[in-house]
Chain A
């Protein structure tokens, strides 16, 4: 099911939670809504589900305008952040709930419901746990019961709110891979909300980066990481350092010294670069500063460098250095970004 979101605006008591958001989700796609808390990602997910309604704008399911359809009419599978399993029902009753409450005409017979429930339980690899109650399950198991329950109604799209938020790191990673396989097997259009960029980049076909009620960038993991479209995306995704620069005739100047070329137009700008896109080089036009700290990070080493700022607080940047580079604390180091981006102020 293709989902199209057109110029959605959502206000809570006059405060805009979403501001003119448009997005096209292709059928069968796995999409991540990524952003810090308060960026409007959960609000957008709830609007798609029909758990909230937009102040203005439209939402289409396929060609159908679903903006005024209730949550029941939209037939979406929604997995809640804390699962919202019905605690007084067994696992089987939870999963079968969506079928049981159907109007008599479309309600499958009891034996059929039972068959479907055990089929779904097998699909989420929880066969044999029919009779358990939610409080007798682990977090990861609850999560999968919630998913099975959402899938039972044969939803047109699957929506997940922070699906792994409440789980510990190891279970998180397992479930992440499992969800990817699950998606590839069922082919459902899936949208999930997360504040964890690693999760979004690893799992999703496309990542929607949001900030302050707006979509900052939509793209593949490579797009948002390698070609960030805005200062926010550059600093939110991955590690980065920034320095104020001045662009003049295609040359970028830092503290009056030319340090490279820039495609941005003339004027004040902000230079962004990633720690790994830096070489240590002894050249007169290189940046230089004092190493204040050095820390080991998996297979690399990160040096924290303070660049003097004419009596003000120094600029703080982080660069990746080879494991065996002769870096001493307090020593002066010269380096140059190999890939960078300048955003106009």
Chain B
């Protein structure tokens, strides 16, 4: 019967969703995006690794264990190890305050948290030079106490903390605002203390968002160039982080070594990306954001 109907009426045109593009437009759009990505992302990424391995494995390995390079890697890890936990705590406190309490100046605080995103990292570094430099108010006092901030590890940490502090807070504020205070009230009404409530209820509710924020924060902390460059002083083996070390090697035409260290940073980016994708698979695109 249906066979007959079809032969009389001909095949009906296939159903097409009104929001769907025509096949040609689809191919064009996807193709354009792919070409763009290949040219601006994939090509540079591949070239980093190609350059790094141009003279083979042993040269690559040599470039990484060379004392100045090893010192740069250690310093980068140290800076990240200090600034990421600091920003984790800060980000938690700030988003907690913003999402769960009402207070005057709340919107001002939110704007303030975004500040490092909106100003150039070089300015962020300069702020610390102005604050702790030898011509500043604080500089001579600290110097007389034997404390050096600028052109030393503390300055690098400060600049990194400044540049990376929005990451965790930005990730958590919308999440916590969305969740409200209902679960916390329930826990308190069941007799839980403030700490128990935080530990058993609040933290599990935000753990994936928190992890995601930490991941982004860490990637930026290790990769930051501008702010760190201003306060570091570029002392080889002492105050050079990986990005700074890459620049110095490159300026010395030591391409293999420069790209070898750069490949480590690129690897970090790839790992971050992979973890982010995993997180999104684990708990849906909603919480892992795509907000940046």
- Chain B residues with Cβ below 8 Å from A97 are 187, 190, 192, 200
Question: A85, A86, A87, A153: which contacts B191 (Cβ < 8 A)?
Answer: A153
B272 at the interface (CB under 8 A from A): no
- A98 and B201 form a contact (CB under 8 A): no
- A84 and B183 form a contact (CB under 8 A): yes
- Chain A residues with Cβ below 8 Å from B196 are 101
Q: Mark A77-110, 1 if CB is under 8 A from B, else 0.
A: 1101010111110000000011001100000000
A311 CB to closest chain B CB (Å) equals 52
- Residue of A78, A84, A85, A98 contacting most chain B CB atoms (<10 Å): A84
For the complex, give the distance between the alpha carbons of A76 and B191 in Å. 9
B188 CB to closest chain A CB (Å) equals 5
A75 at the interface (CB under 8 A from B): yes
Given contacts A82-B182, A97-B200, A101-B196, contact A88 B205 (CB under 8 A): yes
Give the interface residue-count category, chain B.
10 to 19
A293 at the interface (CB under 8 A from B): no
Minimal Cβ-Cβ distance residue in B for A159: B189
For the complex, give the distance between the alpha carbons of A86 and B186 in Å. 9
B185 at the interface (CB under 8 A from A): yes
Question: B186, B188, B201: which contacts A72 (Cβ < 8 A)?
Answer: B188
- B182 and A80 form a contact (CB under 8 A): yes
B111 at the interface (CB under 8 A from A): no
115-151 of chain B: CB within 8 A of chain A? none
A281 at the interface (CB under 8 A from B): no
- B183 and A101 form a contact (CB under 8 A): no
- A76 and B189 form a contact (CB under 8 A): yes
- Chain B residues with Cβ below 8 Å from A51 are 185, 188-189
B47 at the interface (CB under 8 A from A): no
Given contacts A97-B200, A101-B200, contact A84 B191 (CB under 8 A): no
For the complex, give the distance between the alpha carbons of A279 and B205 in Å. 61
- Chain A residues with Cβ below 8 Å from B284 are none
Question: B182, B190, B193: which contacts A98 (Cβ < 8 A)?
Answer: B190
A187 CB to closest chain B CB (Å) equals 21
Question: B185, B191, B200, B204: which contacts A80 (Cβ < 8 A)?
Answer: B185
- Chain A residues with Cβ below 8 Å from B182 are 80, 82, 84
- Chain B residues with Cβ below 8 Å from A49 are 189
Minimal Cβ-Cβ distance residue in B for A100: B200
Minimal Cβ-Cβ distance residue in B for A88: B204
Minimal Cβ-Cβ distance residue in A for B196: A101
131-153 of chain A: CB within 8 A of chain B? 149-150, 152-153
A233 at the interface (CB under 8 A from B): no
For the complex, give the distance between the alpha carbons of A101 and B185 in Å. 14
B192 CB to closest chain A CB (Å) equals 4
A121 CB to closest chain B CB (Å) equals 16
A71 at the interface (CB under 8 A from B): yes
- B190 and A153 form a contact (CB under 8 A): yes
- A71 and B188 form a contact (CB under 8 A): yes
- A98 and B191 form a contact (CB under 8 A): yes
- A84 and B205 form a contact (CB under 8 A): no
- A75 and B183 form a contact (CB under 8 A): no
For the complex, give the distance between the alpha carbons of A149 and B185 in Å. 13
- Residue of B182, B183, B186, B192 contacting most chain A CB atoms (<10 Å): B186
- A71 and B189 form a contact (CB under 8 A): yes
- Chain A residues with Cβ below 8 Å from B187 are 86, 97, 101
- A87 and B189 form a contact (CB under 8 A): no
For the complex, give the distance between the alpha carbons of A82 and B191 in Å. 19
For the complex, give the distance between the alpha carbons of A149 and B183 in Å. 13
Q: Mark A48-83, 1 if CB is under 8 A from B, else 0.
A: 010100000000000000000001100111101010
- Chain B residues with Cβ below 8 Å from A150 are 189-190
- Chain B residues with Cβ below 8 Å from A102 are 191
B252 CB to closest chain A CB (Å) equals 53
Q: Mark B175-210, 1 if CB is under 8 A from A, else 0.
A: 000000011011111111100100011001100000
- B186 and A75 form a contact (CB under 8 A): no
- B191 and A75 form a contact (CB under 8 A): yes
B118 CB to closest chain A CB (Å) equals 32
- Chain A residues with Cβ below 8 Å from B185 are 51, 71, 78, 80, 84
Nearest 10 Cβ contacts at the A-B interface: A98-B190, A84-B186, A84-B182, A101-B192, A78-B189, A88-B204, A101-B196, A72-B191, A71-B188, A84-B183
Q: What residues make up the interface of A, taking CB atoms closer than 8 Å to B?
A: 49, 51, 71-72, 75-78, 80, 82, 84-88, 97-98, 101-102, 149-150, 152-153
Q: List 11 A-B contacts (CB under 8 A).
A: A49-B189, A51-B189, A71-B185, A71-B188, A72-B192, A86-B187, A98-B191, A102-B191, A149-B186, A149-B190, A153-B190
| Extra 12 A-B pairs, beta carbons < 8 Å, given A51-B188, A101-B193 | A71-B188, A71-B189, A72-B191, A75-B191, A84-B186, A86-B186, A86-B187, A87-B205, A97-B190, A101-B190, A149-B190, A153-B190
Q: What residues make up the interface of B, taking CB atoms closer than 8 Å to A?
A: 182-183, 185-193, 196, 200-201, 204-205
